[in-house]
Amino acid sequence: MALLWSVVDWYNDFMASGDSRVQNWLFMQGPAPTLSICLSYVLFVKYIGPFLMRNRAPLNIRWLMIFYNFAMVVISTYIFMELGFLGWFSKYNWKCQPVDYSGSPDATNMAHLAWWYYLSKFLEFTDTIFFVLRKKFSHISTLHVIHHGIMPMSVWWGVKFTPGGHSTFFAFVNCLVHIVMYFYYALAAIGPSMNKYLWWKKYMTAFQMVQFIAIFVHSFQLLFRECNYPRGFMWWIGFHAVLFWFLFADFYKNTYLKIKRARKASLNGSAYTNGKSKSNGIANGHANGNGVSKHNGTNGVIKNGSSVQNGHHVPSEPYTNGVTSNGHSNGVVHRTTTASTEND
């Protein structure tokens, strides 16, 4: 029992050691509310939501999606610009920027901005909720759920203890990426007419990966220089950057590189075997009595059901045993389409 009370006292003291400016802000008293919301999100998008939608038609929420994505562009742009003007455009040191815990206008505004960024992570849950309502369950990948589900809890610690300084570089870069990302989603939500403008999807994913490299380098540079910034948060931010980089790298490999390799294999001979064209007029199979000739793996439908040359069977001459003239077997073949494009 004494051990339990010791843990409780340690927890209360630890929470009290946070930034006093944010102590009474929404969800800032302790991690329990944020953790509960994140777990509820995972439970809903993976289990409850799909269960509720199983016997329902997908919802048509295109205009809601367009509005939401453009709204996220505006929100991300605002936070990015404010983080820049309050710090990263000129006032902050890119190599080492301690947290300003004073009551100065810039320091207080930065703390508020960090809190608003934290709240925006909850708003991003809407991305996945849209997938549930539209029954796009295949889009609710492990990467997607981990990325969205872990972010509010990760950012909470920064707002609670370091709402400013070196910590805010993560939010600064992340908001820049989200401007691009939500603009892409907004265009995609408009419909197929926008497809010709969406060729840059894989570059957007690459941009997200570059983001994590920048955050990783910016955070772990403090291993090599003295800076009045909590080293625990250096490890916390750097670890998240590494984790997300590997998750996004795996997504990039599975989504783009495999497709590229498959397309290349198809062009370089998946439609051909040992260099022999399927439409060279030589049928590998024998013409049979039921009018079906195996044409290099493709069933050619034959009109007359007998093997002839030039449309006439010559009794004194043997059947051609699958050898055709000008791609025809048994007189006339209905199709000579190769197996790579269509299976009759």
Query: What residues are labeled active site?
Result: 147
| DSSP tag of 137 | G
Give the span between the Cα atoms of 196 and 192, in whole angstroms. 8
Give the span between the Cα atoms of 322 and 311, in whole angstroms. 14
Tokens at 97, concatenated: 């920027």
Interacting residues of 129 by C-beta distance below 8 A, sequence separation 6+: 44, 45, 49
Give the span between the Cα atoms of 187 and 33, in whole angstroms. 34
| DSSP tag of 273 | B
Tokens at 283, concatenated: 């049928």
Show the DSSP H helices in the chain as ranges. Answer: 2-16, 32-43, 49-53, 62-83, 105-123, 126-133, 142-161, 168-190, 201-220, 231-252, 258-265
From 197, 205, 318, select the one nearest 253 (Cα to Cα).
205
| Residue 287: strand, helix, or coil | coil
Q: What is the dihedral of CA 212, 215, 217, 218, to 10 degrees?
A: 170
Interacting residues of 134 by C-beta distance below 8 A, sequence separation 6+: 58, 59, 61
Residue type, 34: T
| Residue 93: strand, helix, or coil | coil
Rounded to 10°, the helix 32-43/142-161 angle is 170
CB 69: neighbour CB atoms within 10 A? 22
